[in-house]
Structures are given as C-alpha cells and as structure tokens.
Amino acid sequence: MPQIIPIKDLKNTSEISEWCHKSAEPIYITKNGYGDMVIMSMETYENTMRRLSVYKDIELSEKQAQNGQVKEARSALAGIRTKYGI
C-alpha cells in the first residue's frame, strides 16, 4: 500500500529515509491535500528506471516488427558471427 504523507512531515528526514528503504516503494507527498511530489530510495529509483528502459525497448521492438523491420534469425546470427569473428 502506498505511503502518503503531508509536506509538513518532511521535517523528519531520517524517518522518511528509513521508510523509503524499508518499503522499497515511493512515498507520495501532498500539499494542501493534493499530490505534489514523490520520493523514493536510490535503489527503487534505479530499478524503476531500468524497468522503464526495458519497456521502451520492447515498445520499439514491437513497432519495428509491425513496420517489417525484421531479419531472419539465420542471417542475423551470420552477421553477428562475421562482425565478431566467431
């Protein structure tokens, strides 16, 4: 379940840091009752960015396949073998 706290609670940085590392999820910060910011541990951020990168690569691959930008596996492998001298 997401952690939601008001912006005034950001004064207790040690406790918030602890929450970020324990939950491995972002903490949502509200201001005047509305969403304002999200904070998370560096590890959670890096994992999220890695996952986003994979999703982007999958999306690109799907678009390339739809546009016919594909190669037969044998010719692709032959090109790799030639390029790397395998």
Asked: is 1-40 a CATH 2.60.120 domain? The reply is no
Residue the block writes with tokens 């016919």: 68
Specify the higher pLDDT residue, 2 or 46.
46
Domain boundaries, the chain: 1-40, 45-86
Residue 24, pLDDT > 90, answer no
pLDDT of residue 1 exceeding 80: no
User: Is 0.85 topped by the overall pTM?
Assistant: no
Burial class of residue 27 in the structure, from the number of CB atoms within 10 Å of its CB (0-12 exposed, 13-18 middle, 19+ buried): buried
Q: Is the pLDDT of residue 12 over 90?
A: no
Question: What band does 80 get if pLDDT is binned at 50, 70 and 90?
Answer: very high
